[in-house]
Amino acid sequence: MKELSINEIETISGAGFIKDGFSSLGGKIGDFAFKQFGEHMNVKVPILGSINIATKFPGLGKDVGSQIGESIGNKIETNLSGLPIIGGLFKGIFG
């Protein structure tokens, strides 16, 4: 029988749902913003000329937004679990 890693245990127990939600929301916001402003993101490279970042890296907005959202969600979860009453309730329900 395989021994589960910490990440697998958290996934099974439902831990990190706030982090996951913020990651998803951040990805959607980042993707939307990147699509809106992508046509204006041109970089001049000496040999290659002008390169549009949105064309070269189409998923960059979603990736960056997801990382920022995950970081915010993680900080919220950490702070909530550190509170005496809410933290105990959090740990009792989700892990």
pLDDT in tens, 14-71: 667 888 999 999 999 999 999 999 999 999 999 989 999 999 999 999 999 999 999 9
- The SS3 assignment for 64 reads helix
For residue 26, which of 56, 64, 54 has the smallest C-alpha distance? Answer: 64
- Identify the bridge partners of residue 51 per DSSP, sorted by sequence position: 43
Task: Give pTM, 2 decimals.
Answer: 0.74
- Specify the pLDDT at position 86: 73
Instruction: Indicate the domain borders of the chain.
Output: 15-88
- Specify the pLDDT at position 45: 92
Instruction: State phi, psi for 49 to the nearest 5 degrees.
Output: 90, -145
Instruction: State phi, psi for 73 to the nearest 5 degrees.
Output: -60, -40
- Identify the bridge partners of residue 49 per DSSP, sorted by sequence position: 45
Amino acid identity of residue 86, one-letter, is I
With bands split at pLDDT 50, 70 and 90, how would you rate the model's confidence at 77? confident
Q: Are 66 and 29 in contact (CB under 8 A)?
A: no
